[in-house]
A and B are shown apart, each in its own frame.
Chain A
Amino acid sequence: MYHKTRKALSGVAMAACMTALAAATPTVAEAKTELTMYYPIAVGGPLTKVIDGMVGDFMKANPDIDVKAIYAGNYNDARIKALAALKSGSPAQLSVMFSIDIYELIEQDAIVAFDDIVKTADEKAWLKSFYPSLMENGVTAGKTWGIPFQRSTIVMYYNKDAFKAAGLDPEKAPATWDDLVSAGKKLTKADGSQWGVMIPSTGYPYWMFGALAMQNGQVLMNGAGNTTYFDAKPTVEALNFWKDLGAKHKVMPEGAIEWGTLRKNFLEGKTAIMWHSTGNLTAVKKEAKFDFGVAMLPANKRRGTPTGGGNFYIFKKTSPAERTAAMKLIKFMTSPERSADWSIETGYMGVSPASYDTPKLKEYVKGFPYAAVARDQLQYATAELSTFQTGRVRKALDDAIQATLTGAKSPADALKEAQTTADGLLKQYR
């Protein structure tokens, strides 16, 4: 009997130990994968709450993944923060950053290509489920590095009441450069209280310029990110046109037009037409005291607009478990339903054709057709300016644009200088 009791006791002791051990150490099977992500907000609104909501839903559906989403400021801030975090002790695993940061991130060896993470045929198909023009900024060297999340294009907002007052058909927005000039002339009032059109030249002038160049049939850089075409003839013509709007046709104020206050200028009736991001759509809809319209940008040789906005990137300094978890999160955040929600809240576009097929977005577009303008313009869209040493190259172009518009240099000279600077920076990558 002693023997049996001993065995029983040791059995119980063993069981007790095992339970204690199991309780004390977190079991491997239940270990949570922790993800930290940075994201920027580039449009107004209580969007941190929306992101928190989406992330919360994800965590509910995936109890084994813990996500900390950190609001980092604007695109510049988000990139700086995410890269700084990588170098410090508490890195992020994924982030939303500017779509054009791609070459910088590759050069810093900071990100990993999605092609290296996707395994199943399903997942590979998922990579192809987004709008191709939105993917242009995320693809290089044959691999996909960024997945679209908050994307936009430039659209043309116009004041229908002002059109009517000037004797123009409010349902027909200018469709060509010539239309723009002639409409602008009718809309510009002699006393300066209303201008025909405003295209902003601070903030992101190269973005606006990308549209003009594309409309003249010219892209600004190649797909490998190591060559720019700043001084190509069509590029110079495009800058000339921009300058002439103010200097020759007098339908736009001369000098630099401030990005930050443009929407306010439009809402106050200081300009009848403004070129701005679709990201403004919700705000304009809410605040406009007049009847307004949204249209695609006018064509010259063809229609054109750059895409804009932020992509999801996964960082290289991640474990395989983290990468899988990160991809799950990205798939969730860019899924058609979430993308539809995000689009309605922010004015950004849905990132996949499937998102526009969701009942929610279909409904929204039916009630507010302007929400579809950016999507419809996608067929004419091109990648945003992005190269290696992208900050400096962009600045060279920005400076050239501002120098031209303020009359300091001629378009040809300014762009030639910008091209020389860009060549100097990019030669080592060719």
Chain B
Amino acid sequence: MRRNPDMMRHVHGWLLLMPAAILLIAFTHYPTVRTVIDSLFSKGSAIRPSKFVGLGNYQTMFDDPIFWKVFVNNLWFALGTIPASIVLAIVMALLVNRAIPGRSVVRMAYFTPTILPMIAVANIWLFFYSPDIGLIDQITAMFGLPGHNWLGDPATVLPAIIVMTVWKEAGFFMIFYLAALQNVPPELREAAALEGASRWYFFRRVLFPLLMPTTLFVLINAVLNSFKLVDHLFVLTKGGPDNASNLLLYYIFESAFSYFDATYAATLTVVLLALLAVMALAQFFLLDKKVHYR
């Protein structure tokens, strides 16, 4: 029997891909389309069935002050966590890359937060931030400063959460930078040293550009996490006080599971998807450039 090898190539390829493809379509592509469709319907209940309302939900969303608060919060959260954790990750990687005494212990200390689930991290930091009896206030009390209600003050709650998130993320990103640093040929450093370049100059002109691909990869992860990471809200603030720490995915969760408003949740999800799509396009674009200069 003669088989057309060309045909078999296509058939085999698709057959191999099929199992994964089915799951991906079921849990990524189909729900995305479904979400957009659902956002066009009103909230239904047993005694009041759902009906098509076109852009009505979007109108409600634009009029919803909580939505705007949540949106802005998420942007601040991203702005607060991404640069800080990346910078810290680079610093840590540089520190650990050198032969300092106790290097592996230090590296472990930096990386350990990554191994902990966010929900555990939040439980621990809840104590840190407790007014007066919490650790931070105990330390500030030693310096004679008054205690502060870190999580109960709308002005400090988001920064407090950002600090905690950076603590969790920096070690994770550090690892990627470490990998990249270890790929830097030592001759480069020696050459720079011979030419009398300072460490800062070496970093700025040589190391950092070489770390660009890693930074890009880390950036994508960091951006995604800044929208995905809401576990801590369940333990710390539930979005309060007065939505000062509420984030988009948490609001989606609340809308769907506490208010039983699945269609409004779908509307909010469309916004989230749009934001992520923008980020993905940016990644695609920049990664393309990276491929070129490699």
Interface of A with B (CB < 8 Å)?
76, 80, 83, 104, 107-110, 192, 201-202, 253, 255-258, 260-261, 264-265, 268, 270, 389, 391-392, 398-399, 402-403, 405-406, 408, 428
Contact = CB atoms under 8 A, between A and B. Distances in A.
Contacts of A192: 132, 146-147
28 contacts: A107-B45, A107-B48, A108-B260, A109-B45, A109-B46, A109-B47, A192-B146, A201-B241, A202-B237, A202-B241, A253-B131, A256-B151, A256-B241, A257-B149, A258-B151, A258-B152, A264-B130, A265-B133, A270-B132, A391-B259, A392-B261, A399-B242, A402-B241, A403-B242, A406-B152, A406-B154, A408-B154, A428-B48
User: Which 10 residue pairs are nearest across A and B when measured between Cβ atoms?
Assistant: A256-B152, A109-B46, A402-B241, A402-B242, A256-B241, A391-B259, A255-B149, A403-B242, A391-B258, A255-B152
B238 interface: yes
Contacts of B126: 260-261
- Tell me what chain B mostly uses at the interface: helix, strand, loop, or mixed: loop
Nearest to A404: B242
Interface string B209-244: 000000000000000000000000000011011110
Nearest to A389: B259
A403 B126 CA distance: 21
Given A258-B131, A260-B126, A253 B237 contact: no
Nearest to A401: B242
A270 B133 contact: yes
Nearest to B243: A399
B47 A107 contact: yes
A253 B47 contact: no
A107 B48 CA distance: 8
Contact of A256 (B47, B146, B147, B240): B240
A125 B76 CA distance: 59
Nearest to B127: A261
Given A392-B259, A402-B242, 11 more contacts: A192-B132, A202-B238, A253-B149, A258-B131, A258-B149, A264-B130, A391-B258, A398-B240, A403-B241, A406-B152, A406-B153
A107 B261 CA distance: 13
B189 to A, nearest CB: 50
A148 B133 CA distance: 36
B30 interface: no
B14 interface: no
A402 B243 CA distance: 9
A110 B133 contact: no
User: Which of B146, B152, B237, B257 has the most C-beta atoms of chain A within 10 angstroms of its own C-beta?
Assistant: B152
A403 B238 CA distance: 15
Contacts of A258: 130-131, 149, 151-152
